[in-house]
Amino acid sequence: MQILLITIVIFMNHNQYVKCGSVVDLMYNKMSGIKDFFLDTYTAIRTRINTVFHLGTGSHDSTSNNTKKQSVTNIRLSSVLKRSNPLRVHSQPGVQTASPGEDIAHRPAHILTTPQLAATHGRIIETHVTYTLDGYILTLHRLRTNKVFDETDYESKKRIILLHHGLLGSSADWILLGPKKALPYILSDQGHDVWMANARGNYYSRAHIGLNLNSDEYWNFSWQEIGERDLPAILDYIRKTSNSTEPIDYIGHSMGATALLVLLSVEHNYNRYIRIAFLLAPLTFMAHTRGPMEMMAKIEETALIKLLGTREFLPNRRTEVPAKYAELISKLCNDLDIYCRNPLFFLAGSPMQEGTRTVESADQLQEYAPAGGSSKTIIHYLMLIASKKFHHYKRPDWQFKLKYISTPMLILSSNDDLISNATDNQMLYLSILNPLGHIIIKDQNFSHTEFAWGFNADLLIYYKIRDLIELGPDVITIQ
């Protein structure tokens, strides 16, 4: 184990700017018996992450202390739920209101919440709370627009837009680019009503009316449940709150796109509720996914579950580092590409754009990502890589019926994306009923996560999206 670890460190020391993915690619090409090797390597990395950040080990870390705290929270939440339905937590200007779904215990306390971060950008974000039919309590963030428009004037009527974050992300991802470049602000400045979802299991949506956070039952979901259960609850809540019958616009990154495709193929009615969908680096067909996920897909399920646990994917990330590990950290990690220590970047590939890799950006990204998700979410994706199909959990024979999706959709890919490959997305393009186009960003150092916070994302995609929303699906013609 020690030798493997040293090998990795040496690889990385030799090339500071190497992508995590390409390091693994290199090992992949060199080694035979890759499965066992990778299993060991991953375990080593995981152990190191745990040591450095003083983490629990997923399924085995339910201290009695935590459990007690959580059940008290749950009692409080269920009484809150009975009182008012649906819940809405108002934020007054300058006043930050936490949602009952927000998990203070697991979010690093020194990082700002989405509304707090927005406040530093001079924006006001409201916190809304809704819950799913299976009892998960979800936080929605809504950007208050500065523009006033006349409700009775049809011409001035602006869109309602829902943004859904990607794998292991949160609503904060969308605004990390700051006051000038972030997508929600660009859209809001057009007068649109911008909402941001938080999927079950992330910092803002970690409560349940009955289930304990430290239970297998709570974490028993993948992106399939996020699509089938979270999204309808969110869409229904937005429609109700905004008192609008107009179909809304949807922008989904990565898993946010997967979730929408699941919903629309399972509940055909919802196709009518969406006017146009933008799928940024969607994960559906994953035959050409490369890097660590491709390799993990070769590991059999029982070994994977042993490795990843049955609950949260690398949970309880605490950023304050105990003093006794300080020396160890400086030895192990000082020269290591910091992205390789982050589970999200390990899976999806590290940011590649020069600007995104500045010290300040890198530091901030380390704090906000990952924001939480279940191991089953990862495992379900690994199943798609193995099967090369887009199907229900553990059921390669039961594929999602993309041919029933009639919502007009625009797909965006990048040829630098390690996990959402343009070749696979072309297959998606050919599978849905009403594709508007497939834009491939070429040779811009635009990796999977940079669709949300890439330094150049505003120039490469956000203004395009803004303009296409103005045009509407009937006018858009892109081939």
Ligand X SMILES: *[C@@H]1O[C@H](CO)[C@@H](O)[C@H](O)[C@H]1NC(C)=O
Interaction site with ligand X (CB under 6 A)? 17, 216-217, 220, 243, 288, 290, 415-418, 421, 423, 443-445
Q: Which ranges in 221-325 belong to alpha helices (H)?
A: 223-225, 231-242, 255-266, 292-296, 301-308
In the complex with ligand X, the residue whose CB is nearer, 292 or 408, is 292
Q: In this structure, what are the phi and psi dihedrals at residue 129, rounded to the nearest 5 degrees?
A: -130, 135
Least distance from C-beta 439 to ligand X, angstroms? 16
Name the residue among 290, 297, 263, 280 with its Cα closest to residue 384: 297
In the complex with ligand X, the residue whose CB is nearer, 91 or 421, is 421
Least distance from C-beta 186 to ligand X, angstroms? 22
**Axis crossing angle, helix 2-14 with helix 20-30, rounded to the nearest 10:** 120
Q: Measured in Å, how far apart are the chain's first and last C-alpha atoms?
A: 50
Q: Is the dihedral of CA 20, 23, 25, 27 positive or negative?
A: negative
In the complex with ligand X, the residue whose CB is nearer, 43 or 62, is 62
In degrees, rounded to 5, the angle at the alpha carbon of residue 95 between the alpha carbons of residues 89 and 101 is 35
Least distance from C-beta 121 to ligand X, angstroms? 26
In the complex with ligand X, the residue whose CB is nearer, 300 or 443, is 443
Write out the E strands in 360-446. Answer: 391-392, 395-399, 409-414, 435-441
Name the residue among 286, 283, 294 with its Cα closest to residue 411: 283
Least distance from C-beta 426 to ligand X, angstroms? 9
Q: Which residue has the tokens 């690889």?
A: 11
User: What count of Cα atoms within 13 Å lies in the side-chain half-sphere of residue 114?
Assistant: 33
Least distance from C-beta 442 to ligand X, angstroms? 9
Least distance from C-beta 375 to ligand X, angstroms? 12
In the complex with ligand X, the residue whose CB is nearer, 60 or 110, is 60
- Measured CA to CA, the distance from residue 101 to residue 467 in angstroms comes to 34
In the complex with ligand X, the residue whose CB is nearer, 40 or 217, is 217
In degrees, rounded to 5, the angle at the alpha carbon of residue 354 between the alpha carbons of residues 351 and 356 is 50
In the complex with ligand X, the residue whose CB is nearer, 117 or 213, is 213
Name the residue among 19, 162, 27 with its Cα closest to residue 449: 19
CA 58 to centroid of chain Cα atoms: 19
In the complex with ligand X, the residue whose CB is nearer, 96 or 426, is 426
Least distance from C-beta 273 to ligand X, angstroms? 16
- Measured CA to CA, the distance from residue 237 to residue 251 in angstroms comes to 17
Least distance from C-beta 421 to ligand X, angstroms? 4
- Measured CA to CA, the distance from residue 43 to residue 159 in angstroms comes to 47
